[in-house]
Amino acid sequence: MARILVVDDEPKMTSLICGTLEDAGHRVTTTTDPAEALNLINQHAYDIVITDLSMPGISGMEIMQTALSKGGSEVIMMTAYGTAETAVKALKAGAADYLLKPFSFDELEHLVARLAQKQKLTSLAEHYEQELRAQTVATFIGQSAAAQHVRELVRKVAATDATVLITGKSGTGKELVARMVHELSGRRKNPFIAINCAALTETLLESELFGHEKGAFTGAIARKRGRFELADTGTIFLDEIAEMAPAMQSKLLRVLEEGKLDRVGGVDLIDIDVRVVAATNRDLRKEIAGGRFREDLFFRLNVFPVEMPTLADRREDIPDLAEHFLAQLRYSHGALSEEVRQLLASYDWPGNVRELRNVLERAVILAGDEPLTSGEFSLEIVDSPLTVPSSSSRLDEERGLESAEKQMILDALEAAGGNKTEAAKLLRITRRRLYSRMKAHGIEP
């Protein structure tokens, strides 16, 4: 229930209001002294302030302004001299509603209940927004020094409007970081628009970014707003920025410098307020040296650089990432075995986090309803290659394919000391597939 302050210089009125609202379960404080009301508002937090408009010495308007300046309070104005002008003035000044004396106490009770519910919903929304922001940061998973460094950089730059350039190998999570920057910024309630600059031709990219007017080119049957306009007051994420053609780089630079754009085929300049986050997996300094990227655009984008670590640079995060992806895949067999954890940690992951997620998804499909084992993974471990003895890899033309496969299985089992999981790894097949082929060839398990 709400905590309420009632201010009226008529003691009988404050008493009646107090009784009505306390019966409805609210906590009510009353005063007939406007000066005391100001002191109470400055000392305590009230959800709702109900005040008379006309009182000796200090007006209800002054009380309302004090309550609103503290934040978190809704104000109901009461008046016995109600006119449309009075109501409009109170509402424009910030009152949530007003009551004309004499009023129904049922009306008062319903009004207070509505405002209390509104405040509850507002508080819940703020709570969930804080949780969402925390979860957004938490989605960049890992406790390694490299992961913590990225999160710290994001926290610092998100509070500003600085342009961010995210670099790093493919699959390291550049778009995730771009979304984190947006979600932690003051623009989080406004649009986040992403576009892959490598996915469109130069002509189409210009139209997608800046929009076009009707008749600007064949097929332009209507005016179209571009991604920059759609992202106004929010954030635009330009992925694969190094793939942008030189002419488009020049146009983008002008937009970033002037904060204005013109649609394709248009004549009017359009003001935009957009935060830019760009990303690339290329070395832009090498691209500049090769004449493929404008140096002035690079400096305009590289205000706040964020270098993404590869998964090999933060191997200690692999178990946490694996558990996170398995939860998304609804894997229900608990923690991974030590064997699988060591296997995942031994691989170099050239495709980074994206490859880890894809490998796990494939393994879960292969395992079906069983727990994951190393047999469900086909990873080339460079440091400790597992190979079947060369004699087992030669096809004997006299034996034929079936006998050759049987011999390969027998040789793999021998090389693995009878361990079916290791034999499956040597043969680059799943353990289930190994059992199936052993059964087909009459090999005792």
What DSSP letter does each residue of 27-73 carry, written as one string?
Answer: EEEEES-HHHHHHHHHHS--SEEEEES--SSS-HHHHHHHHHHHSS-
Do 110 and 227 lie in a common domain? Answer: no
Answer whether 257's CB lies under 8 Å from 300's CB. Answer: yes
Q: Is residue 130 part of a domain?
A: no
Residues 6 or more apart whose CB falls under 8 angstroms from that of 71 comprise: none
Q: Is residue 127 part of a domain?
A: no
Going by the DSSP 8-state scheme, the letter that residue 225 receives in this structure is -
Q: Is residue 297 part of a domain?
A: yes
Q: Is 238 helix (H, G, I), strand (E, B) or coil?
A: strand
Burial 248-272 (b: 16+ CB within 10 A, else e): bbebbbebbeeeebbbbebeeebeb
**CA gap 184, 206 in Å, rounded:** 29
- Single out the residue in 94, 122, 150 at which a domain terminates: 122
Q: For residue 298, give both structure tokens.
A: 């690079």
Closest CA relative to residue 427, chosen from 414, 443, 439, 440: 414
Q: Is residue 381 part of a domain?
A: no
State the CATH number of the domain containing residue 172. Answer: 3.40.50.300
Q: How many domains, in total, are found in the chain?
A: 4
Tally the C-alpha atoms within 13 A of residue 37's C-alpha that lie toward its C-beta.
31
Q: Is residue 397 part of a domain?
A: yes
Do 322 and 395 lie in a common domain? Answer: no
First CA to last CA distance, the chain: 69
**pLDDT for res 125:** 65
Do 295 and 173 lie in a common domain? Answer: yes
Do 290 and 397 lie in a common domain? Answer: no
Q: Cα 429 vs. chain centroid, distance in angstroms? A: 38
Answer whether 410's CB lies under 8 Å from 443's CB. Answer: yes
Cis ω before 371 (30° cut-off from 0): no
Q: Is residue 105 part of a domain?
A: yes
Q: What angle do CA 367, 368, 369 make, to 5 degrees?
A: 110
State the CATH number of the domain containing residue 360. Answer: 1.10.8.60
Answer whether 64's CB lies under 8 Å from 94's CB. Answer: yes
Do 89 and 196 lie in a common domain? Answer: no
Q: Is residue 62 part of a domain?
A: yes
pLDDT in tens, the chain (445 residues): 788 999 999 999 999 999 999 999 999 999 999 999 999 998 888 989 999 988 988 989 999 999 998 877 899 999 887 666 777 788 888 999 988 888 999 999 999 999 988 877 776 665 555 555 545 545 688 999 999 999 999 999 999 999 999 999 999 999 999 999 999 999 998 999 999 999 988 888 999 999 988 888 888 888 888 899 999 999 999 999 999 999 999 999 999 999 999 899 988 888 899 999 999 999 999 999 999 999 999 999 999 999 999 999 999 999 999 998 999 899 999 889 998 998 998 898 999 999 999 999 999 999 888 999 988 887 765 433 334 444 444 434 444 556 777 888 888 888 888 888 888 777 777 777 787 788 878 887 7
Answer whether 59's CB lies under 8 Å from 8's CB. Answer: no
**pLDDT for res 269:** 87
Do 174 and 291 lie in a common domain? Answer: yes
Answer whether 35's CB lies under 8 Å from 42's CB. Answer: no
Interval 98-132: pLDDT, tens: 888 889 999 999 999 999 888 777 766 655 555 55
Do 102 and 80 lie in a common domain? Answer: yes
Going by the DSSP 8-state scheme, the letter that residue 336 receives in this structure is P
**CA gap 151, 174 in Å, rounded:** 12
Do 60 and 166 lie in a common domain? Answer: no
**CA gap 21, 4 in Å, rounded:** 9
Query: Could you give phi then psi for residue 305, rounded to 5 degrees?
Result: -80, 145
- Single out the residue in 307, 341, 365 at which a domain terminates: 307
Answer whether 264's CB lies under 8 Å from 215's CB. Answer: no
Q: Is residue 133 part of a domain?
A: no
Write out the DSSP string of 387-434: ---HHHHS--TTTHHHHHHHHHHHHHHHHTTT-HHHHHHHHTS-HHHH
Could you tell me the sign of the dihedral formed by the alpha carbons of 9, 15, 16, 17, in that order?
positive
**pLDDT for res 384:** 36
Going by the DSSP 8-state scheme, the letter that residue 337 receives in this structure is P
Do 319 and 302 lie in a common domain? Answer: no
**CA gap 165, 240 in Å, rounded:** 11
Q: What residue type is assigned to position 304 of the chain?
A: F
- Single out the residue in 275, 307, 339 at which a domain terminates: 307
Bridge partners, 5 (sequence order): 29, 49
Could you tell me the sign of the dihedral formed by the alpha carbons of 298, 227, 134, 117, in that order?
positive
Do 156 and 265 lie in a common domain? Answer: yes
Closest CA relative to residue 119, chosen from 76, 74, 77: 74
Do 147 and 102 lie in a common domain? Answer: no
**CA gap 130, 440 in Å, rounded:** 58
Alpha helices in 244-377 (DSSP H): 246-258, 284-289, 295-301, 318-328, 338-346, 352-367
Domain with 68, as residue range(s), is 3-122
Do 51 and 152 lie in a common domain? Answer: no
Residues 6 or more apart whose CB falls under 8 angstroms from that of 293 comprise: 242, 249, 284, 287
